[in-house]
Structure 1
Amino acid sequence: MSARTFSVAMLAAFAWLPLAHAGSQTIPASAEGQIEFNAPSGNIGCIYTPKGGTSTYQPQDGGPELSCSRVEPSYVTVILGPKGPATLIKNPGEQGCCSDVAKLAYGNSWKKGPFSCQSSTKGLTCSNSNGHGFFVSKAKVTVK
């Protein structure tokens, strides 16, 4: 094999490698069913709370609920329920985002109950099964 053929073969192998890691990512739940994950940047963190809530937190409508917070450039929280549109809270007060939890790798997706999220270098996109959701990045936050 010539050096050029070897170089092309190696380049093709490395070009394919990131795709092998993209896909659905499983993140373990706590004993009470909550799931926490962050974007790899550490600037966005999410908490899934199951229907019925936990001993310390009850979603407004009984759940399930997905709540994601962004730290920079300003702290905001977006809350998504199982059916309706997402709610953007521009000054949530409590700012406990982004502890040392599992990272939802860029290119990977996560799904639990009616919620699904897709992580990319551009930001985090999440939706419920009714098509409502949000996009969060350092540059912007949009809800639908």
Structure 2
Amino acid sequence: MATQRTVRTWMAVDAVLVTVLLVLLVVRLVSGGGSPGEAGPTPSPTVQVQGPTASSSQPVSFRLPSGNIACSVAPSGVTCTIANIAYPPPVVPGCDGDTGHVLLLNGDGFAFDCVNGPAPAVAGDDVPVLEYGSTVTSGPYTCSSATNGVTCTDDEGVGFTLARAAWQELP
């Protein structure tokens, strides 16, 4: 028969083991650990910029760090999509679809595009990030990332500023 002292000793040992197991479980969950040898989350690629500006004659795709806004800048123009908007969608003449989620800037100027089907989704981790404060130029078009949205213009200053809460045509 076990004595009361032996039972207490085993209960103390069990309590210590349970505490150690809980601590290890919390550490594993916080560190994002999976199976041994399993790779952790992959960081999103970043648009390569040199100094405050990157200039290219090639198309450049990027997303803002939030992922809500994504753009493609090419010598022929800019297309930006925004997944979630808090502003009233603008009227696009002749459009039976959704407006407010796709913006275009090209040789014809600035316009919202008519979208038939679902609104664009938040940009995925496969789209490079243009960090806040960075700028990308392709041909005559430049886009700048900021905490309050993206601003895209041509060499003459025609363009737009876009954020979840509002948009503005420039100049």
- TM-score normalized with structure 1 length: 0.62
Cα shift at 1:34: 3.3
The answer to whether the 8 A contact 2:83-2:121 is kept is no
> What is the one-letter code of the residue matched to 2:61?
E
State yes or no: 1:120 paired with 2:146. Answer: yes
Aligned-residue identity in percent: 26
- TM-score normalized with structure 2 length: 0.53
Cα shift at 1:143: 1.9
Q: Which residue of 1 aligns with 2:85?
A: 73
> Any idea what the Cα deviations from partners look like across 1:3-58, whole Å, max 9, x if unmatched?
xxxxxxxxxxxxxxxxxx9612468x9xxx432111111000011244xxxxxxxx
Q: Which residue of 2 aligns with 1:10?
A: none
The answer to whether the 8 A contact 2:132-2:145 is kept is yes
State yes or no: 1:24 paired with 2:53. Answer: yes
CA distance, structure 2, for counterparts of residue 104 and residue 22 of structure 1: 13
Pairwise CA RMSD of aligned residues? 2.6
The answer to whether the 8 A contact 2:59-2:138 is kept is no
Higher strand share: 1
In structure 2, the gaps of 5 or more residues are: 1-49, 87-99
CA distance, structure 2, for counterparts of residue 122 and residue 93 of structure 1: 28
State yes or no: 1:107 paired with 2:133. Answer: yes
CA distance, structure 2, for counterparts of residue 77 and residue 142 of structure 1: 14
In structure 1, the gaps of 5 or more residues are: 1-20, 51-63
CA distance, structure 2, for counterparts of residue 97 and residue 40 of structure 1: 11
Pairing partner for 1:86 from 110, 120, 130: 110
Larger Rg: 2
Q: 1:41 to 1:25 in 2, by over 3 A?
A: farther
> What is the one-letter code of the residue matched to 1:47?
S
Secondary structure (helix, strand or coil) at the match of 1:103 reads: coil
